[in-house]
Amino acid sequence: MAADNKSTFDLAGFLANAGLGRRIVNLRPKETFFCQGDPADSVFYLQQGRVRLTVVSQSGKEATISLLNAGEFVGEESLAAVPGLRLSTATAMNACTALKIVREEMVHVMHEENALSELFLKFLLARSMRTQADLVDQLFNSSEKRLARILLLMAEFGKPGEPETYIPPITQETLAEMVGTTRSRVSFFMNRFRKLGFISYNGGIKVHKSLLNVVLLDQVSEPNPEV
């Protein structure tokens, strides 16, 4: 039987280490990976930390459209057939470490190595499913339920292993943008969650598993008519 001379591609090593067309970048909280309108010339693989994606309208209004976790790609629009401009701003929510891969190198390796293209496809499908879930959540669920879902997503409930119950620092204004309600309503819901033991404050916001009851069973202390 003929020997396979093709070397085995080390996907983990590729995404963990600097090399041709890629380098490790470290960002402090509130530093930006890129800004809306910048050339889309690279993609980032987030090794550690959390990232917030925001867009700004022509009138200057800012909205948070997504939160990304370690193990996800940031700036995937750079891989479009025709390179364009960034559609959003990516900001580090806490200390982040990422692998910055120039567009040409990412496209080349994806064409050559099925392992990377399969991983990237799984990421895109997961993002698409999450976007659909966000839309359904916005259309049909109350603002209190939407807030509970966002807190659970930030705490990474539902992923294999022990969930990260402390969420990164985030303002109530940002939560209100994501929920689609006012800061005062977010403050009201957060205080109610705390009184019911769904969350706690101890140098940060800790999300307890019992918060799932709000999303799955609508178990709160009193009816909430607001949608």
- Same structural domain for residues 23 and 96? yes
Give the pLDDT confidence score for residue 162 in this predicted structure.
Answer: 60
pTM for this structure? Answer: 0.81
Output the six-digit token pair for 201: 């404050």
Domain boundary among 134, 161, 178: 134
- Same structural domain for residues 113 and 157? no
Is residue 161 in a domain? Answer: yes
Tell me the pLDDT of the chain (227 aa) as tens digits: 444 445 689 999 999 999 999 999 999 999 999 999 999 999 999 999 999 999 999 998 888 888 899 999 999 999 987 778 999 999 999 999 999 999 999 999 999 999 999 999 999 999 999 889 888 888 888 999 999 999 998 888 766 666 557 888 888 998 998 898 999 999 999 999 999 999 998 878 999 988 988 887 666 654 444 43
Give the pLDDT confidence score for residue 225 in this predicted structure.
Answer: 40
Give the pLDDT confidence score for residue 65 in this predicted structure.
Answer: 87
- Same structural domain for residues 151 and 86? no
Q: Residue 175, SS3?
A: helix
Q: Which domain holds residue 23?
A: 11-134
How many Cα atoms sit within 13 Å of 151 on the Cβ side? 31
Give the pLDDT confidence score for residue 98 in this predicted structure.
Answer: 98
- Same structural domain for residues 161 and 108? no
Is residue 54 in a domain? Answer: yes
Is residue 4 in a domain? Answer: no
Domain boundary among 115, 134, 153: 134
Is residue 203 in a domain? Answer: yes
Is residue 96 in a domain? Answer: yes
Give the pLDDT confidence score for residue 165 in this predicted structure.
Answer: 79
Q: What total of structural domains would you count in the chain?
A: 2
Domain boundary among 89, 107, 134: 134
